[in-house]
Chain A
Amino acid sequence: AQRVTQPEKLLSVFKGAPVELKCNYSYSGSPELFWYVQYSRQRLQLLLRHISRESIKGFTADLNKGETSFHLKKPFAQEEDSAMYYCALSEYNQGGKLIFGQGTELSVKP
Chain B
Amino acid sequence: DAGVTQSPTHLIKTRGQQVTLRCSPKSGHDTVSWYQQALGQGPQFIFQYYEEEERQRGNFPDRFSGHQFPNYSSELNVNALLLGDSALYLCASSLLVGTEAYEQYFGPGTRLTVT
Contacts and interface: CB of A to CB of B under 8 A. Distances in A.
Given A95-B31, A95-B96, A97-B48, A46 B42 contact: no
B43 A98 contact: yes
B94 A95 contact: yes
The prevalent SS among residues of A at the interface is loop
A101 B42 contact: yes
Interface in A68-110: 86, 88, 90, 92-103
Contacts of B43: 44, 86, 98, 100
Contacts of B56: 96-97
Contact of B101 (A4, A90, A103): A90
Interface of B: 3-4, 31, 33, 35, 40-45, 48, 55-56, 58, 90, 92, 94, 96, 99-109
